[in-house]
């Protein structure tokens, strides 16, 4: 299929589609220090710069979907009843098409915090204090999803929430005929349970998460296919393994490698979130798997050339 015919599946940026996307996920404040190198244990490194930005996989993915898609995006998650939570909500509310009505402010806990160290090669390490994300239970998630599910056709979930909360979202999606996409980041205890994976239509691990889920060291097409087939045997329909600069492996009935554009990375913090959010939004527009993944890879490749998580996420006309 030609590039022109691929792109013609999508509407111009000024239009909107009726079908909606639910993003069930975490909401954090990112505290980011950028320097030449990431310190080793016991080492102190000076000379870095600092900035603060909104983050969390759920929020990042919702922002990516809102900027990259045309569907209404409903973010279901939680913040603490604190200053961080109060500060980040207006910025999320300012995103076009992003509905924050189902974000709960939970008393007695703090908003999630991620401390992110970024080296000059663009690589990062992250430590997270989950706060309100881990207090967001099945009951709260169910209430939020049930209140926004009318008119929605896709649910995207990540695992920075309790597993039972994620399971609740997947169960609701299954029973209501929504396409379910699970980003298994991080890989938490119980995630390999077949009773959970049978609820998942599409799973989107990176190569490290795929290895944790399957025991297969994912380094190339053959190993990616092997890992993907194992996940399919556990009940998942389709597997998309993100592999950084090597692009994405799509394992369905067949196997397809979707290459990533060559770029100079400065910060890879939100690359996976950008991919997942844009991919889910394009699937919400009824695009096919390969086309949605191709454009999501382009969006993620743009994001790694910019600093920060949400600040790095491109808008639709930049990649489509």
Q: What is the pLDDT of residue 269?
A: 84
CATH top-level class for 3-26+56-108+132-318? Answer: alpha beta
Q: What is the pLDDT of residue 15?
A: 60
> Beta strand pairing status for 20-24 and 73-80?
parallel
Q: What is the pLDDT of residue 309?
A: 85
* pTM as predicted: 0.91
pLDDT in tens, 19-78: 999 999 999 999 989 888 898 899 998 878 998 989 999 999 999 999 999 999 999 999
Q: What is the pLDDT of residue 110?
A: 97
Q: Residue ranges of the domains in the chain?
A: 3-26+56-108+132-318
Q: What is the pLDDT of residue 1?
A: 35
Q: What is the pLDDT of residue 4?
A: 39
Q: Is 273 an annotated catalytic residue?
A: yes
Q: What is the pLDDT of residue 192?
A: 94
Q: What is the pLDDT of residue 48?
A: 83
**Active-site residue among 30, 201, 267, 273?**
273
Q: What is the pLDDT of residue 16?
A: 66
Q: Which positions of the chain have pLDDT values less than 70?
A: 1-16
Q: What is the pLDDT of residue 265?
A: 92
């Amino acid at each position: 299929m030609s590039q022109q015919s691929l792109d013609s599946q999508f509407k111009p940026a000024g239009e909107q589609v009726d079908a909606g996307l639910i993003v069930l996920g975490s909401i954090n404040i990112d505290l980011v220090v950028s320097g030449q190198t990431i310190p080793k244990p016991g080492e102190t490194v000076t000379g870095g710069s600092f900035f603060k930005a909104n983050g969390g996989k759920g929020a990042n993915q919702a922002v990516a979907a809102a900027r990259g898609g045309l569907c209404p995006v409903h973010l279901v998650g939680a913040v603490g009843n604190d200053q961080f939570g109060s500060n980040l909500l207006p910025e999320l509310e300012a995103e076009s098409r992003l509905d924050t009505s189902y974000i709960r402010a939970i008393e007695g806990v703090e908003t999630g915090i991620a401390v992110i160290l970024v080296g000059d090669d663009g690589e990062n390490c992250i430590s997270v204090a989950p706060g309100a994300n881990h207090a967001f239970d099945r009951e709260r998630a169910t209430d939020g999803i049930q209140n926004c599910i009318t008119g929605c056709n896709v649910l995207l979930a990540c695992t920075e929430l309790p597993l039972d909360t994620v399971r609740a979202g997947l169960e609701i999606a299954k029973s209501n005929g929504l396409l379910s996409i699970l980003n298994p980041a991080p890989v938490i205890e119980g995630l390999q349970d077949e009773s959970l994976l049978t609820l998942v239509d599409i799973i989107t691990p990176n190569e490290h998460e795929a290895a944790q889920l399957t025991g297969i060291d994912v380094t190339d097409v053959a190993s990616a296919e092997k890992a993907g087939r194992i996940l399919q045997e556990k009940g998942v329909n389709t597997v998309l393994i993100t592999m950084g600069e090597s692009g994405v492996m799509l394992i369905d009935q067949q196997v397809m490698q979707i290459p990533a554009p060559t770029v100079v990375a400065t910060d890879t913090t939100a690359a996976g979130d950008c991919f997942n959010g844009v991919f889910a939004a394009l699937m919400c527009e009824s695009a096919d798997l390969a086309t949605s993944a191709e454009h999501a890879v382009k969006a993620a490749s743009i994001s790694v050339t910019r600093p920060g998580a949400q600040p790095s996420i491109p808008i639709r006309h930049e990649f489509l």
